[in-house]
């Protein structure tokens, strides 16, 4: 169960940065002046370490 | 006068870095083990620096800005794919590293040989790895040539610049080695961050007032550049998804990346790097700002010339010492990664083809000599490709990924699927490479999908199909210990 869960956790940012992108392919709403598409990618890059920290936590590395 | 100042600053930065690297490694004697995998003792911080040095190359610095300039949103893939790569390889690092440690491996084909025990497959992988990396070396060479010719203010012919770049790269590799590279990276990254803050923050602020105002203006002048094109358009949404998947899944599959994985001290060093390194991708935002700024300030650069984007802004509006500083940081971006690229591919040729296949240079000294010879040969091939085929920096990197991404199934299935067979992996790689190269050479992109990704999908299907149809009589030599 936990084994599956860590893959799912990792798949969230991975999917958000790849297959989800055609669905957020727009300029509005602008976030901090950035077009939405760019802001979306930047957001998921920033939160990826949190997901990976959690994965490492489940695997017992830290 | 301007050219002398700019080129002089580049020379000072490059020579200073070499001296810094030499002083740092002076007390360590160089065995091939040190030369290729840094003695297998890199801790979290040192490996971070090495990886950042290898991954953030002049491709990031010039190529991404050039693509932002020419295409706009399709360049955003560059920020996404690295992050996807770290997420994916987090789950493969420990397996690759453990095999490397247990069997004292040095190169990518060593890893393939250990897992699949087939000379045919290992030789095939060696050849593909070396050929696929030539465009990557060409990329660094081409970028270095751009820095030199732009800093020369038209006094240097591009071909002379490219030859000078070749000489500089070879000299840098011979003098520093992989451990020297890691030290040189520290200096390089400090300078590059300074240069990035200038081109990605100072320029937009000075010309537009704020990043938001910059995007307002881009939106007014080129509204279509801030989003991807239609689903199956060239460089449209499907192109984006397939390119992120191809390059993300292949992010650590090249010989230089496998050597970097082997150089880690333990598995957690790799896990921690996979967790933290995505943060580094945020610097791409600054590059996008720089590319869009250049588009508005100096419009009209076409094709490969667009790779000069923000350098053209600096040449026109800033004093020559600013150009010298930025181009010097850029030159390190080309030189430092070239070392790891050339050493890892040269060692594949000298070890996996030269000594394993033909028995040349079995002792350390002979192999070192062969490795050095191959560094020069690879450099010459890269120079030849540059002369024959002028294209943008991003296109050169995508060419490399068409090849090296095809190794990914060999690691991923080799690690997680016990029924993977040698025949399956071999057939998969052959089909993947042939398909990717044929489609790319003909310029065919079905539904806008990246040709390399089509090859990768075919590769996986063939691997699974052949492995199921022709199960191995003996179990795999190394069952996945995860």
B197 touches chain A (CB under 8 A): no
d(CA B291, CA B309): 6
> Cβ of B226 and A27 within 8 Å?
yes
Average pLDDT over residues A34-56: 95
Q: At what angle do helices B255-262 and B93-103 cross, to 10 degrees?
A: 70
Looking at residue B32, its pLDDT comes to 53
In a 13 Å sphere around the CA of B328, the CA atoms on its Cβ side amount to 24
- What are residue B236's DSSP bridge partners? B229
Q: Would the CA dihedral through B48, B346, B25, B62 be positive or negative?
A: negative
Looking at residue B94, its pLDDT comes to 92
Closest by alpha carbon to B319, among B12, B14, B13, B5?
Answer: B5
Extract the tokens encoding B127: 């050849």
d(CA B181, CA B176): 6
Closest by alpha carbon to B13, among B416, B335, B289, B241?
Answer: B335
Burial grade of B16 (CB within 10 A; 0-12, 13-18, 19 or more)? middle
> Cβ of B215 and A55 within 8 Å?
no
Looking at residue B3, its pLDDT comes to 84
> Cβ of A21 and B241 within 8 Å?
yes
Cβ neighbours of B81 in A, within 8 Å: 17
> Cβ of B215 and A41 within 8 Å?
no
| C-alpha pair distances (Å), B88 with each of B242, B252, B265, B405 | 15, 9, 21, 13
Closest by alpha carbon to B145, among B393, B471, B314?
Answer: B393
Looking at residue B116, its pLDDT comes to 92
> Cβ of A34 and B215 within 8 Å?
yes
Return the higher-pLDDT residue of A4 and B465: B465
Looking at residue B49, its pLDDT comes to 66
- Kindly state which CATH superfamily the domain B2-391 is placed in: Sodium/glucose cotransporter (1.20.1730.10)
B453 touches chain A (CB under 8 A): no
> Cβ of B228 and A56 within 8 Å?
no
Mutate to test the interface with B, among A3, A5, A18 (most CBs of B within 10 A): A18
For B453, residues 6+ apart whose C-beta sits below 8 A from its C-beta are B242, B243, B245, B246
pLDDT beneath 50, residues of chain B: 479-482
> Cβ of A33 and B211 within 8 Å?
yes
> Cβ of A14 and B240 within 8 Å?
no
d(CA B133, CA B396): 10
Cβ count within 10 A of residue A53: 17
d(CA A26, CA B380): 45
> Cβ of A46 and B90 within 8 Å?
no
> Cβ of A10 and B210 within 8 Å?
no
- List, in sequence order, the alpha helices (H) in B266-319: 267-280, 283-297, 309-317
Contact (CB, 8 A) for B330 and B165 = no
Interface confidence (ipTM) of the complex = 0.97
The minimal CB distance from B278 to the residues A21, A37, A48 is found for A48
Cβ neighbours of A46 in B, within 8 Å: 279, 282
CA distance A16 to chain B (A): 9
Looking at residue B259, its pLDDT comes to 86
Looking at residue B302, its pLDDT comes to 87
- The predicted-structure confidence for B136-169, as pLDDT tens digits, reads as follows 999 999 999 998 888 888 788 888 889 989 998 9
Q: pLDDT tier at A2 (50, 70, 90 boundaries)?
A: confident
Looking at residue B361, its pLDDT comes to 67
Looking at residue B479, its pLDDT comes to 45
B209 touches chain A (CB under 8 A): no
Cβ neighbours of A44 in B, within 8 Å: 80, 83
Contact (CB, 8 A) for B65 and B290 = yes
Extract the tokens encoding B241: 């998804």
Extract the tokens encoding B249: 């899944």
- List, in sequence order, the alpha helices (H) in B59-118: 64-70, 77-90, 93-103, 108-116
Mutate to test the interface with A, among B44, B275, B448 (most CBs of A within 10 A): B275
Cβ neighbours of A18 in B, within 8 Å: 80, 84, 241, 244-245, 248
């Amino acid at each position: 169960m936990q084994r599956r869960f860590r893959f799912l956790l990792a798949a969230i940012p991975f999917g958000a940065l790849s297959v989800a992108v055609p669905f957020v392919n727009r300029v509005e709403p602008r976030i901090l002046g950035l077009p939405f598409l760019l802001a979306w990618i930047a957001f998921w890059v920033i939160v990826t370490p949190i997901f990976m920290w959690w994965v490492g936590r489940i695997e017992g590395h830290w | 006068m301007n050219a002398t100042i700019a080129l002089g600053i580049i020379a000072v930065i490059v020579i200073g870095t070499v001296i810094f690297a030499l002083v740092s490694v002076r007390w360590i004697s160089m065995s091939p083990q040190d030369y290729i995998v840094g003695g297998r003792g890199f801790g979290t911080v040192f490996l971070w620096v090495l990886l950042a040095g290898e991954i953030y190359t002049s491709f990031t610095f010039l190529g991404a800005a050039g693509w932002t300039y020419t295409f706009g949103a399709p360049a955003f893939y560059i920020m996404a794919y690295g992050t996807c790569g770290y997420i994916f390889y987090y789950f493969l690092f420990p397996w690759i590293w453990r095999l490397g440690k247990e069997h004292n491996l040095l190169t990518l084909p060593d890893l393939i040989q250990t897992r699949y025990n087939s000379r045919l497959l290992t030789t095939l992988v060696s050849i593909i790895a070396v050929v696929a990396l030539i465009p990557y070396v060409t990329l660094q060479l081409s970028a270095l040539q751009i820095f030199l010719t732009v800093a020369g203010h038209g006094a240097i012919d591009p071909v002379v610049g490219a030859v000078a770049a070749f000489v500089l790269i070879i000299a840098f590799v011979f003098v520093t080695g992989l451990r020297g590279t890691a030290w040189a990276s520290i200096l390089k990254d400090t300078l590059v961050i300074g240069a990035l803050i200038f081109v990605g923050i100072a320029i937009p602020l000075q010309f537009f007032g704020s990043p938001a105002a910059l995007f307002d203006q881009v939106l007014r002048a080129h509204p279509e550049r801030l989003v991807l094109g239609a689903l199956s358009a060239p460089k449209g949404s499907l192109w984006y998804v397939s390119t992120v998947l191809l390059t993300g899944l292949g992010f650590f599959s090249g010989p230089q990346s496998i050597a970097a994985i082997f150089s880690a001290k333990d598995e957690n060093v790799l896990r921690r790097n996979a967790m933290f390194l995505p943060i580094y991708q945020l610097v791409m935002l600054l590059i996008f700002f720089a590319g869009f700024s250049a588009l508005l300030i100096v419009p009209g650069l076409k094709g490969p010339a667009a790779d000069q984007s923000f350098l053209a802004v600096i040449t026109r509006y800033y004093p020559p010492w600013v150009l010298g500083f930025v181009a010097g940081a850029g030159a390190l971006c080309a030189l430092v990664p070239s070392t790891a690229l050339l050493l890892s591919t040269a060692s594949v040729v000298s070890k996996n083809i030269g000594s394993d296949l033909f028995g040349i240079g079995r002792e350390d000294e002979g192999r070192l000599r062969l490795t050095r010879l191959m560094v020069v040969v690879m450099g010459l091939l890269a120079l030849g490709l540059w002369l024959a085929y002028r294209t943008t920096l991003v296109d050169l990197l995508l060419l490399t990924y068409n090849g090296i991404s095809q190794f990914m199934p060999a690691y991923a299935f080799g690690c997680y699927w016990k029924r993977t067979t040698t025949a399956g992996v071999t057939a998969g790689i052959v089909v993947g490479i042939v398909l990717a190269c044929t489609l790319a050479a003909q310029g065919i992109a079905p539904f806008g999908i990246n040709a390399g990704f089509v090859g990768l999908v075919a590769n996986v299907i063939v691997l699974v199909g052949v492995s199921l149809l022709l199960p191995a009589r003996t179990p795999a030599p190394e069952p996945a210990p995860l």
